[in-house]
């Protein structure tokens, strides 16, 4: 019989709640670790990740604004390219129609060899 433990996983929201209780409510790390059944090293890793990524969270508004501008620019370029492609397709269709018409006219005006 093996007594394997399954690894518990916490969602980002759950980790945020635990970290917030320590940082805002000043609940000691040892109490949180006992309550949630986690090791202090795991808690320290979560806290280090939070602190390391804090700048990107604070910069997310500017990044999302830049991303929105880029998406709008790409959408305009996409629409311009679609219009250009539609115009090219129209010209090709017109030229093809003219070519078929000319070929028919030239073919019907030719007389078979040996006829007067």
State residue 2's pLDDT score.
54
Within a 13 Å sphere around the CA of 103, how many CA atoms are in the beta-carbon half?
6
Largest CA distance in the chain: 112
Examine the pLDDT at 18 and tell me if it is beyond 90. yes
35-86 residue pLDDT tens: 999 999 999 999 999 999 888 877 777 777 788 889 999 999 999 999 999 9
pLDDT band at 6 (very low <50, low <70, confident <90, very high): confident
Regarding pTM above 0.75, the answer is no
State residue 3's pLDDT score.
60
């Amino acid at each position: 019989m093996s007594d394997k433990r399954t690894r518990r996983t916490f969602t980002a929201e759950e980790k945020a709640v635990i970290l917030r209780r320590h940082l805002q409510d000043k609940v000691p790390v040892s109490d949180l670790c006992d309550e949630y059944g986690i090791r202090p090293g795991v808690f320290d890793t979560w806290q280090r990740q939070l602190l390391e990524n804090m700048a990107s969270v604070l910069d997310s508004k500017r990044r999302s604004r830049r991303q929105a501008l880029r998406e709008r620019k790409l959408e305009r370029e996409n629409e311009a390219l679609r219009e250009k492609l539609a115009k090219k397709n129209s010209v090709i269709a017109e030229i093809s129609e003219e070519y078929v018409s000319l070929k028919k006219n030239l073919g019907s005006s030719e007389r078979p060899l040996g006829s007067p």
